Amino acid sequence: MFFKLLKLMNWFTAQCRQQFYNVTFGTKFRYFGKGCTVDISGKVKIGSNVYIGDYVSLIVENGAVLEIADNSFIGENCYIKCFGGKVVIGKDVSINSKSYINGCGGVTIGDNTRIGTQSMIIASNHKFGEPDVLVKDAITKLGVNLGENIWLGARVTVLDGVTIPSNSVIGACSLVSKPLDDAGVYVGSPVKKIKDL
């Protein structure tokens, strides 16, 4: 009996939380998880039927923008930080658990893209080799652009200035540090093309 009552209480709490965020963001979420960090000073636009997992952090600083289109999925413990740039997540995108997006230079993720667990997209970087500039102050903000229908395997890292063409696959644990010229299957650190698509 106790566990049935606990399950009912959890369901009721989830419904109340979802309704609160539906009103707050002016949309209709499929699910809005417990324990989320929502720190919004910038602009946010969220489509319908979006899933936000438990313990997700959505941080949008003043002057930054976050857009999530319809039917997209943000898994539990993901961290999306928009500061100084615009993060645009297309339709039917899946960003799986414990992934991290740094949107400083801007990030675009095309429709129907799949991002594996614990992946990182970092849209800023530090330069070095300039004797008159400290590394902490020498920052690039070129942005990251992922096309449509891309699959990033688990633990892929994508760095600032990268473009990945539509219909590409990046193997698990790979590092993408430079723009990719054409669609294909890429693996390694740094990635190398192993197959055309």
Task: List, in order of start, the domains of the chain with CATH numbers.
Answer: 1-195 (2.160.10.10)
Helices (H), the chain: 2-25
Going by C-alpha positions, the residue among 110, 71, 104 that lies closest to residue 88 is 110
Distances (CA, A) of 140 to 20, 125, 128, 170: 38, 5, 11, 24
In the residue annotation, 8 being an active-site residue is answered as no
Cα 12 → chain centroid = 29
Q: Which of 30, 34, 45, 126 is catalytic?
A: 126
Cα 63 → chain centroid = 18
What is the value of pTM for the model shown?
Answer: 0.91
pLDDT per residue rounded down to tens, the chain (197 residues): 778 888 888 888 888 888 988 898 889 999 999 999 999 999 999 999 999 999 999 999 999 999 999 999 999 999 999 988 899 999 999 999 999 999 999 999 999 999 999 999 999 988 777 778 787 777 888 999 999 999 999 999 999 999 999 999 999 999 999 999 999 999 999 999 999 87
Cα atoms found within 13 Å of the Cα of residue 52, Cβ hemisphere only: 28
